[in-house]
Amino acid sequence: MTVTDAVTDAARDAEPGPRPAYRRDAAGERRRLAIQEAAARVIADPENSRLAARLLAEEIAEEAAAHGVRTFSESVAATHAAGLVHDRLAAFVRDDAAALDALVDPEGDGRFEYFGLRTVYDRYLLRHPVTRGVLETPQHFFLRVACGLARTVAEAGELYRLISTLSYLPSSPTLFNSGTRRPQLSSCFLLDSPRDELDGIYERYAQVARLSKYAGGIGIAWTRVRARGSLIRGTNGLSNGIVPWLRTLDASVAAVNQGGRRKGAACVYLEPWHADVEEFLELRDNTGEDARRTHNLNLANWVPDEFMRRVEADAEWALFDPKEVPELTDLWGEAFEAAYREAEAAGRYVRKVPARALYGRMMRTLAQTGNGWMTFKDAANRASNQTALPENVIHLSNLCTEILEVTSDAETAVCNLGSVNLAAHLTGGGIDWARLRATVATAVRFLDRTIDLGYYPTPEAEAANRRWRPIGLGVMGLADVFFALRLPFDAPEALALSTRVAEEIALAAYRTSCDLAEAHGAHPSYGDTRAARGTLHPDHYPDARPVHPGEWAALRERVAATGLRNSLMIAIAPTATIASIAGCYECVEPQVSNVFKRETLSGEFLQVNRYLVRDLRERGLWTPEVRDAIKRADGSVQDIASIPEDLRALYRTAWELPQKALIDMAAARQPYVDQSQSLNLFMAAPTIGKLSSMYAYAWRAGLKTTYYLRSRPATRIAQTTVAAVPAAASPAFSEPEAVACSLENPEICEACQ
């Protein structure tokens, strides 16, 4: 059966009117065949993805109708009867059923790509607890999310229109849980290092389990816990160090998944002066004693400037037992440097190592595992609105390295995330700036609302979130914008546009937070912030050149008059799942391939760069021969002579772009991002020398955090329809001397050019 025949049959059998049961079954089977056929032909014509999505939307609607669900109000009634949604939502919808039913956009499902709609169907729609059939359609789902955050029909309509048009999407926990009986709406939880005592450590385990149960990603510091060999005075024994504790945490994270919907996930942060740092860096190794490995935890280095300066100077670095220098954990900047040097001079260290040798080990961990993320303690604290007072310290980032908030033993930092789809704000000539600002204003208001309506798994999380009221608004679809406007990712115009996008979003977010403060009051800790002292985030970056300096001056006066409802507002998260739903490229990243296979909990999906296909088709070049050549090249077009040079430059992949361009773009955005950015870096065959230069450059550029190092072999596409080619070489590692070479000659490192 051809795709045309299957689609025609499915459409005919979907005509209204009563049909015998066997006809429905036969029609459903034909529809499923048509969906499979259309999805398989995406590489030939990306429009097949929309076709498959439309057919899947029909199937979902039919499945919901089998449970008596045809309207939004019927959906809420059914999910409430099944014990899935909150009484408040049910009452809200019951009181305004007709008005809310009228909000549903009948054209909404037509905006999905197949992969996005399949993700919604498999993972987000509420299902009957017994039959497992869906009790809401995708548009009912979007409206349920909006109503869960709204107080009026008008508010619900405002947010629903943004979500339905895929212009803005809240993060997955909000999509999972808005309006449900247990509305845990927050994405990220950051826990301070446990107290260096048995009760403190086990208390942290319990907090992590409760947070993970309700779909929270966990970041946790571990720097306060004593090192191996440290004296335990109560028993006169010696400590086994942090590794056994982290093994227990690893098992707990694996056992308590995120509400049964996705794997539990946590990242552990350690400062590099901790005497167990070398064992910490081995936790994700694939070799060695398994009893000293963790397979579920992610790892991150919380790096002070003093360490990086010693790496540059090829100096020694002292490692300490935190039991002997507990003050170091709560210090940053000049105060940390003075205390560190004083402890070093007093001989309180466990041992000394060459700073470059330890840095080289960090680079090796990154190259071999992608883990051991480089995050910078002083940059994070120096520019944070929350760290005006010495007692307020940022000790770590989150699971995805974009959240930077103060923590303490009594406060677990929380952040609620959402992302604007930049691709949905394009006009014929560029970005619709007025519409972008309007979207940001709506997004900020509803992100702020999540703080009041959300369920908090621990009292420490609730205390911190209500005190600081931080939110994290980000973006996705930047690569779509560059493709649509024909800007190579490393073009100066692309950097300028990316920076302006960040500035426009920040201005709109700050203004909206002022509006909220005027209406409801500033957040309770406003007096403890830098904003209360007249300093806004861009003021920390004297080299920034805003497009709207006058607006910033006026905003500063407004903040002085009203205060801010939110201590932090901007964070660029990875958006892996919600970008798939929106049908755009992830956050601010370049594409990894022009043709690739996505493997998710929903299955395997072949995807192709629709912008490239459009351009090649217009020039008569989208032929089977070109398609096979792109597949053989792992999604690259660089060595295909028949593709014009301008298209090869535009459609380079992340592996073919100079990483210096990605770092420079992130650094240019940073003045307008008051938290941080999940910045992946890409290197096909990483070496210690290349990496050492790249991450030193990121530190010098003023970045607060970086995220995964992506290496090429892990992302090769399956070439099932073309002749086999030799596998890529395994990543090569240079000798430790390469660290010195690359640091002393950063301009010649190909990673940064």
Query: DSSP secondary-structure letter at 526?
Result: G
**pLDDT above 70 covers what percent of the chain?**
89
Each residue of 640-656: pLDDT tens digit? 999 999 999 999 999 99
Residues 569 and 603 both lie in one domain: no
In a domain, 398, yes or no: no
Domain's final residue, options 146, 165, 184? 165
For residue 14, pLDDT over 80 is answered with no
Q: Kindly name the residue from 147, 400, 514, 749 that is annotated as catalytic.
A: 400
**Cβ-proximal residues to 434 (8 Å cutoff; 6+ apart), any chain:** none
In the chain, how many domains are there?
4
In a domain, 668, yes or no: yes
Each residue of 451-460: pLDDT tens digit? 999 999 999 9
The band of 261, judged by pLDDT with boundaries at 50, 70 and 90, is low
In a domain, 392, yes or no: no
Residues 365 and 436 both lie in one domain: no
What are the CA-CA distances from residue 82 to residues 61, 86, 129, 178, 618 (Å)?
19, 11, 7, 16, 52
In a domain, 290, yes or no: yes
Residues 346 and 235 both lie in one domain: yes
According to DSSP, the residues that pair with 572 across neighbouring strands are: 677
pTM score, whole prediction: 0.90
3-state secondary structure of 652: coil
What are the CA-CA distances from residue 253 to residues 220, 249, 710 (Å)?
12, 6, 24
Tokens of residue 595, six digits:
């043709």
> What is the pLDDT at residue 713?
56
Domain's final residue, options 585, 620, 642? 585
Residues 616 and 527 both lie in one domain: no
In a domain, 352, yes or no: yes
Q: Kindly name the residue from 177, 398, 416, 680 that is annotated as catalytic.
A: 398
Residues 553 and 428 both lie in one domain: yes
Residues 124 and 86 both lie in one domain: yes
In a domain, 407, yes or no: no
Tell me if residue 398 is catalytic: yes
In a domain, 366, yes or no: yes
Measured from the Cβ of residue 467, the count of other Cβ atoms closer than 10 Å reads: 15
Residues 731 and 601 both lie in one domain: yes
Residues 11 and 115 both lie in one domain: yes
> What is the pLDDT at residue 717?
37
For residue 742, pLDDT over 80 is answered with no
What are the CA-CA distances from residue 141 to residues 109, 144, 175, 179, 594 (Å)?
11, 5, 8, 10, 31
For residue 596, pLDDT over 90 is answered with no
For residue 52, pLDDT over 80 is answered with yes
Domain's final residue, options 382, 409, 441? 382
In a domain, 300, yes or no: yes
Residues 250 and 338 both lie in one domain: yes
For residue 54, pLDDT over 80 is answered with yes
Tell me if residue 392 is catalytic: no
Residues 730 and 631 both lie in one domain: yes
Residues 606 and 573 both lie in one domain: no
Strands 603-608 and 681-683: unpaired
Please state the length of the chain: 753
Tell me if residue 604 is catalytic: no
DSSP 250-274: HHHHHHS-BTTTB---EEEEE-TTB
Nearest one of 594, 593, 596, 586 to 613, comparing CA atoms: 594
- CB burial class (10 A; 0-12, 13-18, 19+) of residue 471? buried
Residues 626 and 728 both lie in one domain: yes
CATH number at residue 281: 3.20.70.20
Q: Kindly name the residue from 402, 405, 460, 504 that is annotated as catalytic.
A: 402
Domain limits at 673?
Answer: 590-752
Tokens of residue 716, six digits:
């090769």
Give the Cα separation of 378 and 382 in Å (integer): 6
